[in-house]
Amino acid sequence: MSGPRVKPTIDTAGDLALAEILRARLRQRLRQQLEVVTSAPAISTRAAAAEWIFDHGGSIAAALKATHPDTGGTSADFQKTIEARDVLEGRAQRP
């Protein structure tokens, strides 16, 4: 016979409550980290859009006017200005 028989531990109500608290804290921390990771591209996208608008007139209206093909702009620049406006105004991104 080898040593005494060891019974498995029985989780008490306190153990279960502590585990739930620790799981909740872990979920909260993971949610915060996920938010930081997912918000970083959105911030850089908004910053790039704001810089585009600033470089092409300083306001959305001025940038639209400056980049419009009828006023000497190119269609590619006008499209970028429209996309920058959509980003800054929080509109859905076009596919």
Question: Does residue 72 fall inside a structural domain?
Answer: yes
Question: Does residue 55 fall inside a structural domain?
Answer: yes
Encoding tokens for residue 80?
Answer: 């970028």
Question: Does residue 5 fall inside a structural domain?
Answer: no
Output Rg (C-alpha) for the chain, integer angstroms: 28
Number of structural domains the chain divides into: 1
Whether 85 and 65 have beta carbons less than 8 Å apart is answered as: no
pLDDT digits 0-9 by tens, 17-57: 888 999 999 899 988 888 877 777 777 888 889 999 999 88
pTM exceeds 0.85, yes or no: no
- Range of the structural domain that residue 75 is part of: 13-88
Question: Does residue 32 fall inside a structural domain?
Answer: yes
Question: Does residue 4 fall inside a structural domain?
Answer: no
